[in-house]
Amino acid sequence: MAYNFSDPLTILIFVILIITNLSEYLTSPSKLLGLVLSLPAILIGLTFHEYAHALAADKLGDDTPRRQGRLSLNPLRHIDPYGMILLLFAGFGWGKPVEINPANFNRKVTIRQGNAIVSLAGPLMNFLLAFIFSVIYGLLLRFSYSFLLYNNTGYVIKTLVESIITINVSLGIFNLIPLPPLDGSKILLAILPTKATDWVNRNQKILYFIFLIIWITPISGAIVAPAINAVNNGLLKLILAISGIR
């Protein structure tokens, strides 16, 4: 099902979230700087997330993403304006969905399995990026500690790397919520019994409405915060182990 993020209700939610969060940035120069420095991290996270979807589909035999130019690391191929703005100002967002044709998948997987693999590829890519940049961060702290903390350029690099880690963890966790239109819903459909799958497909709009309610209320934080904290704590231990900081 294709979701219309331009419907009036969704746009109203966008406006409320942006206005609510924008005032904080306009009154705090440090938060505004953090917002600017998070932009490259967001581009990296969204681009690699959608590229992973396209790559997984391509490897499974579906050339639809390749023909549409989505098998690319060019951010312009993958950015959804609404999703990016929301990620900037509300902490959650998405890229331009990769279109696939499951009928093109090779016979090594079923359509359900193929859909799950393609859907899982995006969050896994975000977790991989968070891991890689945690290693980089640990090495920077180990060999360039003073530069990162006491040099302006070093501070910018430190903030950028931290943003890449944080945003990729958030993207990965958020997209695993098993509600449409998120990746987690497609992964869930691959393991549900047939009757349950049919029920989910018949009630996509209702489930999408539930997603919106969860998203704009503290419920979303309650759902994803424990998982995000758990992943961040694990990455922090990795960073400290590499950096040698006690």
pLDDT of the residue at 211 = 82
Q: Kindly state the average pLDDT of the residues 169-185.
A: 91
Please indicate, yes or no, if residue 116 is contained in any of the structural domains.
yes
Please indicate, yes or no, if residue 3 is contained in any of the structural domains.
no
pLDDT of the residue at 13 = 67
Greater model confidence, 210 or 220? 210
pLDDT tens-digit profile of 216-227? 777 877 888 999
Please indicate, yes or no, if residue 220 is contained in any of the structural domains.
yes
- List Cα–Cα distances, 58 to 87, 126, 213, in angstroms: 27, 19, 34
What does the alpha-carbon distance between residue 136 and residue 159 come to, in Å, rounded to a whole number? 13
Q: Kindly state the average pLDDT of the residues 10-38.
A: 71
Task: Say whether pLDDT at 200 is over 50.
Answer: yes
pLDDT of the residue at 246 = 74
Q: Which residues of 206-240 are buried (b: 16+ CB within 10 A; e: fewer)?
A: ebbeebeebbeeeebeebbeebbeebbeebeeebe
pLDDT of the residue at 5 = 54
List the Cα angle 199/203/204 in 5-degree steps: 120
Please indicate, yes or no, if residue 99 is contained in any of the structural domains.
yes
162 is catalytic: no
Q: Kindly state the average pLDDT of the residues 133-151.
A: 95
Please indicate, yes or no, if residue 189 is contained in any of the structural domains.
yes
Q: What is the pTM of this model?
A: 0.88
What does the alpha-carbon distance between residue 27 and residue 178 come to, in Å, rounded to a whole number? 36
Q: How many domains does the chain have?
A: 1
**Which of 24, 50, 99, 162 is labelled catalytic?**
50
What does the alpha-carbon distance between residue 219 and residue 60 come to, in Å, rounded to a whole number? 36
pLDDT of the residue at 223 = 83
Greater model confidence, 2 or 102? 102
What is the overall mean pLDDT for the chain? 87
Please indicate, yes or no, if residue 27 is contained in any of the structural domains.
yes
pLDDT of the residue at 52 = 97
What does the alpha-carbon distance between residue 122 and residue 175 come to, in Å, rounded to a whole number? 8
* Percent of the chain at pLDDT exceeding 90: 54
Please indicate, yes or no, if residue 1 is contained in any of the structural domains.
no
- Residue (of 194, 195, 174, 175) closest to 186 by Cα position: 175
**Where in the sequence is the domain holding 170, given as residue range(s)?**
8-243
Task: Say whether pLDDT at 6 is over 60.
Answer: no
